[in-house]
């Protein structure tokens, strides 16, 4: 039975708990439709808006105790996992599909020597005006960057995933055909010390963690879901060009030419490359709406060896 790792983009979750509850119903329909193709499934997801919202809530609560960032990661992983697990279970029951679904609080090992800790790049939280971002930065010391013309967002370190602490449990559940929600938000970042694992303030890119997960599970397919049906050259320009089936070598040439933005498509491309090179599998990049058809060869960008 084929194993598929699904990396859910932010458009599958929304920016608030209420919006997320609504959106995950559609997401669950897609996940269950994929499950009915007789494949094993592990699902990862992002948490940029959610972890930023949780962290800001504690920062703004003047009477409260500051909440460490790894704990904010864990909170976001827990409540997103709960929403997804519930929605998928409801859809499985509605369609009379006999499969279990569960979310696992997942730690992912990173290195303190990762250069990401010297140069934070991962946007989290809400979009702010330049003036508001400058005010918050003066009050808190947070760093902000302009994000895709939509406003300013706080940035935190985004180190590379090295190891998934709970991978043996994930493997066991996936092998038993459970739909497993794991490496949520890229996983809770931890470092390994002589006293064991310890949390560290960062957000791991979920596509990179899903690629690591797909490698560890020897998955045949890594399905990266985003807001567009395909990857484009010259995106949003009059002469934009959709990319279909590509080799790793072709994709690398486009990366070298600077075609993909660091804050949006580039991490997905780099995650896809790392997975394909490690496993010889296929990486598919498409929208949530196209996911089911993309697995059958429909509209998508497909990267192979």
Query: Which of the following is catalytic: 10, 52, 184, 186?
Result: 10
Residue 182 makes CB contacts below 8 A (sequence gap 6+) with 42, 43, 44, 103, 104, 106, 164, 166, 170, 213
Q: Which residues, in sequence order, are bridge partners of residue 226?
A: 287
H or E stretch covering 22: helix 17-35
Of 40, 171, 206, 212, the catalytic one is: 206
**Is 122 an active-site residue?**
yes
268 catalytic per annotation: yes
Active site residue 206: yes
* Per annotation, catalytic residue among 11, 15, 90, 100: 11
Q: Could you please report the per-residue DSSP string of 224-287?
A: EEESSSS-EESTTSTT-EE--EEEHHHHHHHHHTT-S-TTTHHHHHHHHHHHHHHHS-EEEEEE
Nearest to 185 by CA among 216, 207, 163, 169: 207
187 phi/psi in degrees, rounded to 5? 100, 155
Greatest CA separation for the chain: 56
Asked whether 14 and 48 are in contact (CB, 8 A), the reply is no
Dihedral sign for Cα 10, 12, 15, 20, please.
negative
The DSSP secondary-structure symbol of 64 reads S
96 is catalytic: no
Instruction: Classify residue 73 by burial, with Cβ atoms within 10 Å: 0-12, 13-18, 19+.
Output: buried
Instruction: For residues 105 and 208, give the distance between their C-alpha atoms in angstroms, rounded to a whole number.
Output: 17
Burial (CB count within 10 angstroms: exposed 0-12, middle 13-18, buried 19+), residue 155: buried
| Choice among 122, 171, 186, 212 that is catalytic | 122
Report residue 127: phi and psi, to 5°: -85, 135
Q: Please, are residues 9 and 227 in contact by the beta-carbon 8 Å criterion?
A: yes
Write out the catalytic residue numbers: 10-11, 122, 206, 268
């Amino acid at each position: 039975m084929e194993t598929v790792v699904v990396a859910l983009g932010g458009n599958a979750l929304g920016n608030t708990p209420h919006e997320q509850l609504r959106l995950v119903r559609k997401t669950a329909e897609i996940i269950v439709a994929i499950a009915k193709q007789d494949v094993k499934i592990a699902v990862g997801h992002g948490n940029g808006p959610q972890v930023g919202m949780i962290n800001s809530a504690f920062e703004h609560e003047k009477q409260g105790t500051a909440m460490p960032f790894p704990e904010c990661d864990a909170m976001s992983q827990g409540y997103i996992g709960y929403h997804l697990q519930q929605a998928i279970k409801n859809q499985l029951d509605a369609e009379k599909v006999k499969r279990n679904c569960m979310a696992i609080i997942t730690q992912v090992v990173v290195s303190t020597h990762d250069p990401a800790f010297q140069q934070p790049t991962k946007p989290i939280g809400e979009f702010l005006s330049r003036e508001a971002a400058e005010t918050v930065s003066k009050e808190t010391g947070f760093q902000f960057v302009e994000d895709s013309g939509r406003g300013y967002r706080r940035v935190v370190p985004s180190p590379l995933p090295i190891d998934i602490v709970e991978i043996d449990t994930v493997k066991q559940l996936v092998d038993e055909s459970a739909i497993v929600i794991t490496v949520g938000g890229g996983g809770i970042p931890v470092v390994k010390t002589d006293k064991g694992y310890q949390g560290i303030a960062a957000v791991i890119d979920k596509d990179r963690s899903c690629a690591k997960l797909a490698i560890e599970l020897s998955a045949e397919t890594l399905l990266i879901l985003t807001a567009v049906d395909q990857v484009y050259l010259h995106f949003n320009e009059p002469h934009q060009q959709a990319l279909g089936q590509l080799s790793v070598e072709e994709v690398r040439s486009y990366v070298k030419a600077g075609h993909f933005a660091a804050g949006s498509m580039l991490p997905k491309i780099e995650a896809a490359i790392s997975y394909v090179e490690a496993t010889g599998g296929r990486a598919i990049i498409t929208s949530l709406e196209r996911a089911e058809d993309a697995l059958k060869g429909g509209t998508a960008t497909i990267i192979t060896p």
